């Protein structure tokens, strides 16, 4: 979502005649688009700001602006921190005012900020300035009303609001004309999309009908909003990628209840079974938090067992990180010790990595349609890379493919992180 928001910001500022440079050292204004979801992301932003100030020297006139969730969450402390010397701050619903904020900060030398959250702002009238050539992110809803007790997003991004299907479709048609082959529908809680009487399944169906778009993805859904209609559509529609990212967070019912996830372990696993029975080749991925306040060893063990049972293709696992202002921070201050969290995450990762590797190896000998993507910087440039519909990264044995091309590939090898294949 932040990548997408940065594309919106680029578009908004280009309209105001700002020019973008890729080299941070040449910029007069540096914008940092921030995430507040875990402490780690916070710390990195402080580090980056200090680096910029250091690299540019004491007398430099470079202006630094903080965008995104950290802006909403930490406005006061960011502005008061003398060593950071932040010039302006804009929360996720204030990007249209950025030009004005920059001018206010430049002209008056005063710290300018706007972190107001809106019930309506969806940026549906802004076309993001996209750089990638294959996948286009498109936020169809913003905000979250779920209030999971650990999560700061409902406070930093405000209430749920959806864009009209017509407006989304107009943008998707334009993207197809520009040569994008894949769209990923985004939302903090994407399957809660609702516009008048239109739900998420309707939107997905309509988007998939746009000529030129070959793949439709979405992220991230909440397990509470998975009607059969959506699963049946996914099963029947070849353009909808067979990948569901289904955050589990934890498997013990007491912990799930404290987290306000609104499902039980049984309900979650039943949904996994249903998804698998309707869409047998689905890639299932998840998010897990270890060490939620008061989580016992036995309760963590249940998460581990559920992970083994569910056989996720991969998982993002996180140590619980207390966020100011959340319900958990107020009601459940008893922290699980850091050493215990570390031990749990290591155990979880070990179990999941073995499953991921086993699942990847099971693809050897299978043939997939791969959509070629730009080669990531950490991959050798003499290979082409692409993804399966299930979102698995495939490294091809040849490099002569165009970005956006679709290639039939036989999988010949697998690592814990990617598949390797020969084009047919």
Q: Interface with ligand SF4 by CB under 6 A: which residues? A: 144, 146-148, 151, 153-154, 188-189, 222
Smallest distance from the beta carbon of 222 to ligand SF4, in angstroms?
5
Q: Which is nearer to ligand 5AD, 206 or 299 (CB)?
A: 299
Q: Which is nearer to ligand 5AD, 139 or 172 (CB)?
A: 139
Phi, psi for 139 (deg, rounded to 5): -75, 120
| Cβ density class 378-416: b for 16+ within 10 Å, e for less | eeeeeebbbbbbbbbbbbbeeeebebbeebebebeebee
For residue 289, the partner it binds in ligand 5AD, ligand SF4, none, with Cβ less than 5 to 8 A by kind, is ligand 5AD
First to last CA, the chain: 35
Joined tokens for residue 356: 């991921």
Smallest distance from the beta carbon of 160 to ligand 5AD, in angstroms?
16
Q: Which is nearer to ligand 5AD, 130 or 261 (CB)?
A: 261
For residue 92, the partner it binds in ligand 5AD, ligand SF4, none, with Cβ less than 5 to 8 A by kind, is none
Q: Which is nearer to ligand SF4, 123 or 150 (CB)?
A: 150
Q: How far apart are CA 169 and CA 69, in angstroms?
A: 28
Burial of 57 (C-beta count, 10 Å sphere; 0-12/13-18/19+): exposed
- Interface with ligand 5AD by CB under 6 A: which residues? 37-38, 150-151, 247, 249, 287, 289, 318, 320-321, 323
Smallest distance from the beta carbon of 335 to ligand 5AD, in angstroms?
11
Helical axes 265-278 vs 228-236, angle rounded to 10°: 30
**Helix, strand or coil for residue 266?**
helix
Q: Which is nearer to ligand 5AD, 347 or 379 (CB)?
A: 347
Q: Which is nearer to ligand SF4, 135 or 326 (CB)?
A: 326
Q: Three-state SS string across 69-105, please?
A: HHHHHHHHHHHHCCCCCCCEEECCCCHHHHHHHHHHH
For residue 389, the partner it binds in ligand SF4, ligand 5AD, none, with Cβ less than 5 to 8 A by kind, is none
Smallest distance from the beta carbon of 298 to ligand 5AD, in angstroms?
21
Smallest distance from the beta carbon of 387 to ligand SF4, in angstroms?
24
Smallest distance from the beta carbon of 72 to ligand 5AD, in angstroms?
15
Q: How far apart are CA 374 and CA 86, in angstroms?
A: 34
Q: Which is nearer to ligand 5AD, 162 or 249 (CB)?
A: 249
Phi, psi for 422 (deg, rounded to 5): -105, 130
Measured at CB, which residue is nearest to ligand 5AD?
Answer: 287
HSE toward the beta carbon, residue 386, CA cutoff 13 A: 31
Vertex 329: Cα angle to 325 and 332 (nearest 5):
150
Joined tokens for residue 121: 């702002």
Q: Which is nearer to ligand 5AD, 36 or 101 (CB)?
A: 36
For residue 38, the partner it binds in ligand 5AD, ligand SF4, none, with Cβ less than 5 to 8 A by kind, is ligand 5AD
**Helix, strand or coil for residue 181?**
coil
For residue 100, the partner it binds in ligand 5AD, ligand SF4, none, with Cβ less than 5 to 8 A by kind, is none
For residue 188, the partner it binds in ligand 5AD, ligand SF4, none, with Cβ less than 5 to 8 A by kind, is ligand SF4
For residue 285, the partner it binds in ligand 5AD, ligand SF4, none, with Cβ less than 5 to 8 A by kind, is none
Smallest distance from the beta carbon of 122 to ligand 5AD, in angstroms?
21
C-alpha pair distances (Å), 246 with each of 54, 87, 268, 292: 41, 39, 9, 19
């Amino acid at each position: 979502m932040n990548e997408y928001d940065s594309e919106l910001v680029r578009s908004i500022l280009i309209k105001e005649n700002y020019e973008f440079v890729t080299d941070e050292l040449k910029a007069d204004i540096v914008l940092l688009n921030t995430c507040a979801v875990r402490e780690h992301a916070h710390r990195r932003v402080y580090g980056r700001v200090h680096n910029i100030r250091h690299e540019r020297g004491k007398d430099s006139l470079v202006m630094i602006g903080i965008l995104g969730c950290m802006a909403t969450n930490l406005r006061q402390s960011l502005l008061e921190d003398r060593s950071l010397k932040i010039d302006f701050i804009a929360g996720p619903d204030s990007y249209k005012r950025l030009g004005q904020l920059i001018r206010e900060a430049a002209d008056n030398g005063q710290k300018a900020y706007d972190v107001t959250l809106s019930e309506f702002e969806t940026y549906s009238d802004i076309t993001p300035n996209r750089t990638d050539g294959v996948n286009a992110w498109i936020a169809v809803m913003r905000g979250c009303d779920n209030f999971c007790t650990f999560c700061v997003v409902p406070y930093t991004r405000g209430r749920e609001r959806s864009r009209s299907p017509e407006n989304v479709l107009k943008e998707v048609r334009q993207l197809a004309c520009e040569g994008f082959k894949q769209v990923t529908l985004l939302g903090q809680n994407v399957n809660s999309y609702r516009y008048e009487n239109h739900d998420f399944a309707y939107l997905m169906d309509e988007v998939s009908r746009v000529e030129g778009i070959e793949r439709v993805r979405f992220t991230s859904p909440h397990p509470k909003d998975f009607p059969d209609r959506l699963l049946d559509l996914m099963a029947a529609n070849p353009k909808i990628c067979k990948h569901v990212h289904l955050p589990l967070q934890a498997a013990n019912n007491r912990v799930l209840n404290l987290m306000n996830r609104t499902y039980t372990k049984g309900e979650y696993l039943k949904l996994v079974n249903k998804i698998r029975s309707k869409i047998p080749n689905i890639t299932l991925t998840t998010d897990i938090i270890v060490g939620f306040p008061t989580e016992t060893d036995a309760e963590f063990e249940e998460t581990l067992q559920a992970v083994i049972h569910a056989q996720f293709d991969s998982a993002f696992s996180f140590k619980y990180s207390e966020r100011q202002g959340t319900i958990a921070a107020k009601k459940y201050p008893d922290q699980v010790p850091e050493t215990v969290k570390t031990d749990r995450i290591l155990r979880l990762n070990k179990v999941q990595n073995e499953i991921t590797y086993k699942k990847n190896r099971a693809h050897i000998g299978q043939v997939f349609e791969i959509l070629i993507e730009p080669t990531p910087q950490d991959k050798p440039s003499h290979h082409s890379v692409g993804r399966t519909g299930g979102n698995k990264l495939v490294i091809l044995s040849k490099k002569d493919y165009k970005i956006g091309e679709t290639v039939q590939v036989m999988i010949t090898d697998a690592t814990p992180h990617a598949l390797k294949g020969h084009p047919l």
